[in-house]
Amino acid sequence: MREQFCIDAMNQERPVYTVSDGSGLTAETVAHTLLTQFPGVEFRHVSLPFVNTHDKLEQAVNDICRAGQESGVQPLVFTTFVQDDFSERLQHISAEVFNLFEPFINRIERALDQHSSHKSGQAHGIANVGKYNRRINAINYALHCDDGLHTRDYDQATVILLGVSRSGKTPTSLYLAMHFGFYAANYPLTEDDFDRRMLPSDVVANKERVFGLTIDPVRLQQIRSERRPNSRYASLSQCQEDVRLARELFDRNNIPFCDSTGYSVEELGSQIKHQMALQSELI
Amino acid sequence: MREQFCIDAMNQERPVYTVSDGSGLTAETVAHTLLTQFPGVEFRHVSLPFVNTHDKLEQAVNDICRAGQESGVQPLVFTTFVQDDFSERLQHISAEVFNLFEPFINRIERALDQHSSHKSGQAHGIANVGKYNRRINAINYALHCDDGLHTRDYDQATVILLGVSRSGKTPTSLYLAMHFGFYAANYPLTEDDFDRRMLPSDVVANKERVFGLTIDPVRLQQIRSERRPNSRYASLSQCQEDVRLARELFDRNNIPFCDSTGYSVEELGSQIKHQMALQSELI
């Protein structure tokens, strides 16, 4: 019976709870990052945000304990509570509980010689209206200047992404706007640009803010084939030619660039910010 | 002289470094969250991502030590290194160093009875191609179905946001797509809908996935005034009327909703996910 229990337990996914009094984003980010260090384990994530009353806390405790009983393994629980009584309550349940702030906050208090505010929901809220507006305006700008639209407004850009069709420009622009508050435009390089062997005047006039994206032609072929299967546009030869000509344009104009192949939008965004030495507008 | 040094030090912004071998996003998120607990202190954030060689590590150490000397206060350093020698190197510099993984990883290893992989850059990279494509497709869907476009494709939606013009639908839809991989459409409620006193058939046909956004009329007036100053559209009476009629439509159709006023897109996104009981497509 005991052995049966253990085998069952091993087949179960490990329940993982993130419990927060705010949006839960910090807890989710850290839990996700820590658990990617255990690629062999299957996890079942449950997010419990906005646990900001004692009633909701008891409900969360019930959910966690039930998941532990049903799976036969102790749930992992990640919290970012800054209220001591909330944090304390979770210490007495049958689960592995990690308060993600607790090991650091006292050390930071000592280093700064300041008490922490113990106010919850500060991290992902609206820190101030100016930064909030900056971000919304940046998103609107990215949409306004997506895919070569409104190049006359490039003088407002923080960064102008250049690349062939489907090299990842639009998602990266939107990410740069949302995450850093950058005014990110993007311009698709087409046969017209390659034939002229030069960039449009609005791009040239803002060249110090231009960044190129390149991509592996085989990956590009896959992406384009999803959009227009069996087209000339999606053929490997066309993809190879487009990527080669784009690289030539980057080299000829001394445009910094990176290869988007195999990178997430977060990685590309961080890479562009880093290579262009930009500072976030939102912190 | 000593006193002078202290006064100068107090006037300085406290240098904060996030040092990571990957994109640095986890370190930045946690550092930001922890430091919002100290609202009275001015920080100067420097992000050092992609520190993945010993040369780059020494460069980072130099930067941090110089900042400490120049400011006269010890920098705070947040890292997410999983390589022990990188982590170890930072323990011997003149700074307050916080390894954000270190207090947890051994406890998780014991709880799971597994060794961690100690591989870096796992958190924000492309975990698998399926999830990567899901996300890119979700972003494309959000753009495709932005602002009432292509309502015939609402049957593919994870969630359809409804609200009056400038209530925050577009940024929230893009966030839901980027962060959770949701197919998030959005539909603007206009006088046509209010006059008809009913919702478009494509919305009604997918009513169980509809979520409303409402907003404080005074805040709406401010936002609309930035776009079209002194217009009827931006007048307080029009904003009050639009918001009232939208609320009536939500109530009449039993549409869940929340008030976007004073919330960040992260908070709205988490709230919508929570209220609609949705699970992220990306973890």
Q: Confidence class of residue A121 from pLDDT cuts 50, 70 and 90?
A: low
Number of neighbouring beta carbons within 10 Å of residue B141: 22
pLDDT digits (tens, 9 = 90+) for B223-282: 999 889 999 999 999 999 999 999 999 999 999 999 999 899 999 999 999 999 998 988
Give dist(CA B231, CA B236) in Å, integer: 10
End-to-end CA distance of chain B: 55
Average pLDDT for residues B102-108, to the nearest whole number?
A: 93
Which positions in chain A touch B74 (Cβ < 8 Å)? 111
User: Mind telling me how many Å the CA of B175 is from chain A's nearest CA?
Assistant: 8
Mean pLDDT value across chain A: 91
Which positions in chain A touch B98 (Cβ < 8 Å)? 104, 107-108
Kindly state the percentage of chain A with pLDDT values over 70: 94
Contact indicator for B158, B184 with CB cutoff of 8 Å: yes
pLDDT of the residue at B3: 40
Average pLDDT for residues B85-110, to the nearest whole number?
A: 93
- Among A123-127, A132-136, A260-264, B91-95, the least confident range: A123-127
User: Mind telling me how many Å the CA of B197 is from chain A's nearest CA?
Assistant: 30
Q: What is the CA radius of gyration of chain A?
A: 25
pLDDT digits (tens, 9 = 90+) for A150-166: 999 999 999 999 999 99
For residue A114, give the DSSP letter.
-
B77-113 burial by CB neighbour count: b if 16+ within 10 A, else e? bbbbbbeeebbebbeebebbbbbbbbebbeebeebbe
pLDDT of the residue at B122: 66
The partner residue sitting opposite B37, judged by closest CB among A41, A45, A122, is A122
What is chain B's length? 283
The partner residue sitting opposite B171, judged by closest CB among A35, A38, A136, is A136
Q: Cβ separation of A23 and B267 shorter than 8 Å?
A: yes
**Residue A119: closest C-alpha in chain B:** B37
Tell whether the model's pLDDT for residue B4 goes beyond 70.
Answer: no
Whose structure tokens read 């058939």? B201
pLDDT of the residue at A82: 85
Q: Confidence class of residue B121 from pLDDT cuts 50, 70 and 90?
A: low
ipTM of the assembly? 0.87
Tell me which residue of A224, A217, A165 sits closest to A191, measured CA to CA: A165
Average pLDDT for residues B92-104, to the nearest whole number?
A: 94
pLDDT of the residue at A198: 86
Pure H helices in chain A? 2-11, 25-35, 54-71, 84-90, 102-112, 129-144, 169-180, 191-196, 201-204, 217-227, 236-252, 265-275
Q: Cβ separation of B30 and A116 shorter than 8 Å?
A: no
Q: What are the φ and ψ backbone dihedral angles of B273, each rounded to 5 degrees?
A: -55, -45
Tell whether the model's pLDDT for residue B18 goes beyond 90.
Answer: yes
Most B-contacting residue of A59, A131, A227, A267 (CB-CB within 10 A), to test interface: A267
Per-residue DSSP letters for A28-95? HHHHHHHHTT-TTS-EEEEEE----SHHHHHHHHHHHHHHHHHHSSPPEEEE---SHHHHHHHTTSSS
Task: Count A/B contacts: CB-CB distance under 8 Å.
Answer: 205
- Please say whether the dihedral angle defined by the alpha carbons of residues A142, B24, B30 and A47, taken in this order, is positive or negative: positive
Which positions in chain A touch B104 (Cβ < 8 Å)? 34, 98, 100
pLDDT of the residue at A203: 97
User: Mind telling me how many Å the CA of B270 is from chain A's nearest CA?
Assistant: 6
pLDDT of the residue at B120: 67
